[in-house]
Amino acid sequence: MTLNDQQRKFYESTLSVTRQEIEDLDRQIEEELAKVKDRLAELQNAKKAARQMYDAACMRLGIANDLEGSDDDSAGV
């Protein structure tokens, strides 16, 4: 099928517009992923601090730490 000039211009315009949309979406995805990674790091740090306090409380009370060995902090952040 041969395109006339008007059809060719339409499809070239469509290519240009949709390419820009895809690039914008890729940029937005990267921005959102960066936010999620930052938030996960914050949560992991908070968990680590809470875990240290829990560990110390168990030690001071002389009781077994029921969280010891569970849920290690290597969640891949």
For 19-68, how does the pLDDT look when each residue is reduced to its tens digit (9 = 90+)? Answer: 999 999 999 999 999 999 999 999 999 999 999 999 999 999 999 999 98
Nearest-5° angle of CA 63, CA 66, CA 67? 130
pTM value is 0.66
Give the Cα separation of 29 and 5 in Å (integer): 36
Q: What is the separation of C-alpha 26 from the centre of its chain, rounded to a whole number of angstroms?
A: 14
Classify burial at 44, counting beta carbons within 10 Å of its beta carbon; exposed 0-12, middle 13-18, buried 19 or more.
middle
Amino acid letter, residue 11: Y
